[in-house]
Amino acid sequence: MPQAIKLTENVAIGGDNRAFIIAEIGQNHQGDINIAKQLIKVAKECGADCVKFQKTCIAEKFNDAALNREYSNVNSWGRTYGDHKRFLEFSEEQFFELQSYSDKLELVFSASAMDVTSLLFLAKMRVPFIKIGSGDANNFPMLETASKLNLPLIISTGMQSMETVDCIYNIVKSEHKDFVLMHCISSYPTPINGINLNVINLYREKYQDINIGYSGHELGIEYSSIAVAMGAKVIERHLTLDHNYKGSDHACSLEPHEFKQMVTKIRMLEIALGEPQKLLRKSELPCYQKLGKTLVAARDLHKGYILTKDDVKVKVAEPKGLDGCELLKVVGKVLLKDFKEDESIMIDDIH
């Protein structure tokens, strides 16, 4: 089993810890810090372990031509794409304010670094981990810089080939193993036939020394809990206050009641998964007392007799004697008393 990654004094992810659930707020805050705080509060109420935003240095991520192109559509917050992105981007001071608000609610706060400048800013903020989104998973120079920061990383792998994922793994592992690879499909929303959860099994088999997670963009909540059942130790889903809000991510995000239901299902699933340990459970005792088979004498037997397999039957009997599974263990034992046919064989009656 991969080792757990310690994020804070009280929070660790992976290993034998329960799934770490990230509420991805991204830019679903509509550029309004009050909506951002409302989303943080809602995430806490829904049972999320972490809230995550996106941090971008616009000049670092886009060239002038990309920023100056017309961006006129139903989701636009400005005439050009640059106007749109600047409207949605919080300042460094606002990020510190959101971090402080999250700390008060005892929620882990972090963000996706969308460029190297933002990466270094998040490191300055001392966030407990940094997310590398699918769009930068093949940005190897940025991954090299990130891996040298001595901070845990969570890396989504949407749009990448297996060869690229191998490169990601090798780049980061050359520095440390405190990172999580996230299966992710960069399709909004992801169709059911494109979710491909078996990649979780592929990653877990191929990268056995690190933890694996799932970042989902499909509609609904069912497949996130299935991912946990398959071994995902980190679950990331987008959170919105309303599917109908302006913005391309809202449609594939979860509203508060959906997010809360997902968390509840995951936590119930984790209880149901239990431990890889097979034994008689306390809840089974009533059924065992009623129907559990025990060893009885197949016929009248006398004190001093040495038992053979044919001298013993397995029946529902009163009182409960030796369990039926002990049959071969009593063969060759000497009876310390006389037995009537069908009489239960007790541990103190043989040696």
Cα Dmax for the chain: 100
Q: What is the pLDDT of residue 16?
A: 95
Q: Of all residues in the chain, what percent carry a pLDDT higher than 70?
A: 100
57-106 pLDDT tens trace: 999 999 999 999 999 898 899 999 999 999 999 999 999 999 999 999 99
* pLDDT band, very low/low/confident/very high, at 155 (cuts 50, 70, 90): very high
Provide the CATH topology of domain 282-349. Type Iii Antifreeze Protein Isoform Hplc 12 (3.90.1210)
In this predicted structure, the answer to whether residue 333 has a pLDDT above a threshold of 90 is yes
Measured distance CA(241)–CA(29) in Å, rounded = 9
Residues 71, 27, 62: CA angle, nearest 5 degrees:
50
Across 285-294, average pLDDT: 96
Which residues 6+ apart lie within 8 Å of 269 measured at CB?
225, 228, 229
**Which residue type occupies 291?**
L
Return residue ranges of the chain for CATH 3.90.1210.10: 282-349
**Which residue type occupies 242?**
D
124-150 pLDDT tens trace: 999 999 999 999 999 999 999 999 999
204-223 pLDDT tens trace: 999 999 999 999 999 999 99
23-56 pLDDT tens trace: 999 999 999 999 999 999 999 999 999 999 999 9
Whole-model pTM? 0.92
Residues present in the chain in total: 351
In this predicted structure, the answer to whether residue 247 has a pLDDT above a threshold of 90 is no
Across 261-289, average pLDDT: 96
Measured distance CA(135)–CA(251) in Å, rounded = 20
Task: Tell how strand 12-13 and strand 5-6 pair up.
Answer: antiparallel
Place of tokens 């017309």: 70
**CA-to-CA separations, 197 to 136, 137, 160, 216, in angstroms, rounded:** 22, 19, 15, 10
The CA R_g of the chain, rounded to the nearest whole Å, is 29
Return residue ranges of the chain for CATH 3.20.20.70: 9-273
* 3-class SS string, 301-327: ECCCCECCHHHEEEEECCCCCCEHHHH
In this predicted structure, the answer to whether residue 248 has a pLDDT above a threshold of 90 is no
Place of tokens 């984790």: 270
Q: What is the pLDDT of residue 82?
A: 94
DSSP lists the bridge partners of residue 183 as 214
* pLDDT band, very low/low/confident/very high, at 326 (cuts 50, 70, 90): very high
Q: What is the pLDDT of residue 226?
A: 98
Average pLDDT, the chain: 97
228-239 pLDDT tens trace: 999 999 999 999
Q: What is the pLDDT of residue 329?
A: 97
Q: What is the pLDDT of residue 345?
A: 98
| C-beta of residue 99 within 8 angstroms of C-beta of residue 36 | no
Task: Tell how strand 293-297 and strand 312-316 pair up.
Answer: antiparallel
DSSP lists the bridge partners of residue 83 as none
CATH of domain 9-273: 3.20.20.70
**CA-to-CA separations, 327 to 176, 307, 308, 323, 345, in angstroms, rounded:** 53, 10, 10, 8, 10
* 3-class SS string, the chain: CCCCEECCCCCEECCCCCCEEEEEEECCCCCCHHHHHHHHHHHHHHCCCEEEEEECCHHHHCCHHHHHCECCCCCCCCCEHHHHHHHHCCCHHHHHHHHHHHHHCCCEEEEEECCHHHHHHHHHHCCCCEEECHHHCCCHHHHHHHHCCCCCEEEECCCCCHHHHHHHHHHHHCCCCCEEEEEECCCCCECHHHCCCHHHHHHHHHCCCCEEEEEECECCCHHHHHHHHCCCCEEEEEECCCCCCCCCCHHHCECHHHHHHHHHHHHHHHHHHCCCCCCCCHHHHHHHHHHCEEEEECCCECCCCECCHHHEEEEECCCCCCEHHHHHHHCCCEECCCECCCCECCHHHEC
**Which residue type occupies 89?**
E
159-174 pLDDT tens trace: 999 999 999 999 999 9
